[in-house]
Amino acid sequence: MTRIRSADPRPRFRALPATITAAALLALTACGGGSEGSSSPADATLSLAIQGAPNSFDPPQLNDGQSTYVWSAVYDTLLYTDNKGRLKPNAAESWKYSADGLTLTLKLRKGMKFSSGAAVDSAAVKATLERTMTTAGQQQALLRSIKSVAAPDTGTVVIHLKQRDGSLLTNFSMAAGVIADPATMTKKTTALDPVGSGPYVLDKATVTGTSYVLKRRDDYWNAKAYPFRTVTLKVIADPTAAFNALQAGQLNAGSAAPQYAAKLKAAGFKMTLVKATAVANLILADRKGTVLKPLADARVRKAINMAFDREKIVDQLLKGVAQPTLQVFNPKGQAHDAALDQTYPYDPSAAKKLLAEAGYPNGFSVTMPSFVFTKTFEPTVTQALDDIGIKVKWTPVPPQNNAKAVTSKEYPMFLFVDGLNTTPREAANNFSPTGFLNPFNSSDPELTELLDRAENQLDPAKAADTYKKVNEFVVKDAWDAPVSYLGNNWTTKGVEYLGDGSNTSSTIRAFGVAG
């Protein structure tokens, strides 16, 4: 049996609401082109509030969270996922797997150039992939299935795999698929001022960590897909500050907190509600009870699930910009099953009974990390768990220590906000023994077999059926206690949000000029 790999071990920290990607499973062949977005006035601009700055532009260190808005404009990726969640050609104009699924051949577009003027060729792709594969960072594990990369000619990349990888093509549409300039990518300057082949370059007006100003490259091969000549991405985590910037005309796009939506609508902004772009999940990580013994009992984990009035949380705490759920999979993805949301009704009395049956009639105590992006939920979670006898103490964690807190095994359970993704990456990130959100390396023979089967399945329809069984297993065995999907109320003026939640990736291709 093939051991499943972590398809996504990197942290994706965001304040809510958040975004990341959806769609695309392993395909045997694909080709063609396509450009979302339409032509626009030459002086069209986009000024968008984002909630997180890039930690680095060094390819192995890229983050697929909101910093994607910035780096995906500077770097090309081999493939891309469109606004309907469909995998499309990008720098690679076609791809084909061998019959056994262990060799992937990519054909690159001709005439592509880095912003330095150097040619984009197979040697650049090979160098970038090999550096990411051998450099510790957030993208390294995403390429773990690759055995070797060859460049038989300037326009061809041949990737030999150790085993089939149902996430690889999707990974190539995200940070693991960027192409860097081999002449500069190992220089220290790359972390702040990269040389890429993407549609934009960083303008000198950029203030690192605060505001990123992007100028479009008119010589870019697919410039028509990027209607904005200038894009300004302002890092504004505070909802009130974002509201003020929108009202003042400093921004023409952003996410509106529910309390400000009516005022912005009255001021002429268009509202586009996407109810599920991330999931707030109480992760019951210590499923063997090595640190917190009660979590080894499925009855305890099920009791925790029954402690939350998810409908009330969505209506009162999140003001409807959300959706109740017991699942971590994208509702527009392959694994989601609406029937599973009926598994654990809100029932504190029944939850207490389950705790008593498990040997904890008086409940127990637990310490959980307090992240910046979970503070909104913490009073509600504390009260809900207290109502069934579980006492929670929160320990503040500074943002730079988020990943360490998750992976330290110090916290047997923790609340996390994670962007929705493609089904294979959601499965691996949450439930693979080496997944980032499975820090205690939990495993189960039945689940391992299902993950293996889905990961190695070349038929997308059969893979979808298997992923549904993965979802059913983890919900019914109460591996986690999801609280709700989180949404975005996209607020725009003069520009248009083009997405529908199928692809939750943080990309400026989700915006166009309003008609």
Q: What is the pLDDT of residue 36?
A: 56
Asked whether 490 and 497 are in contact (CB, 8 A), the reply is yes
Is 108 inside a domain boundary?
no
Give the count of domains, the chain.
1
Q: What is the pLDDT of residue 344?
A: 98
Is 348 inside a domain boundary?
yes
Cα separation, 260 vs 264, in Å, equals 6
299 token code pair: 């009855």
Is 402 inside a domain boundary?
yes
399 token code pair: 């943002």
pLDDT in tens, 46-55: 999 998 888 8
Residue 24, pLDDT above cutoff 60:
no
Nearest to 488 by CA among 427, 436, 417, 437: 417
Is 221 inside a domain boundary?
no
Q: Where are the alpha helices (DSSP H) in 92-201?
A: 122-134, 168-172
Q: What is the dihedral of CA 398, 402, 408, 409, to 10 degrees?
A: 100
Strands 253-255 and 414-419 turn out to be unpaired
86 token code pair: 């469909």
Of residues 456 and 293, the one with the higher pLDDT is 293
Provide the domain limits for residue 437: 276-487
Is 289 inside a domain boundary?
yes
Beta pairing partners, 207: 211
In the chain, % of residues over pLDDT 90: 74
Helix or strand (DSSP H, E) at 370: strand 364-370
Is 149 inside a domain boundary?
no
pLDDT in tens, 281-307: 999 999 999 999 999 999 999 999 999
Residue 162, pLDDT above cutoff 90:
yes
Of residues 297 and 141, the one with the higher pLDDT is 297
Is 311 inside a domain boundary?
yes
The CATH number covering residue 457 comes to 3.10.105.10
Residue 65, pLDDT above cutoff 90:
no
Is 464 inside a domain boundary?
yes
If 0-12 CB within 10 Å is exposed, 13-18 middle and 19+ buried, where does residue 135 land?
Answer: middle
- Judge if the upstream peptide bond of residue 17 is cis by omega within 30 degrees of 0: yes
Q: How far is CA 403 from CA 13, 398, 408, in A?
A: 9, 10, 8
Q: What is the dihedral of CA 465, 340, 81, 505, to 10 degrees?
A: -160
Q: What is the mean pLDDT of residues 334-359?
A: 97
Cα separation, 488 vs 257, in Å, equals 8
Q: What is the mean pLDDT of residues 95-117?
A: 95
Give the number of other CB atoms < 10 A from CB of residue 456.
18
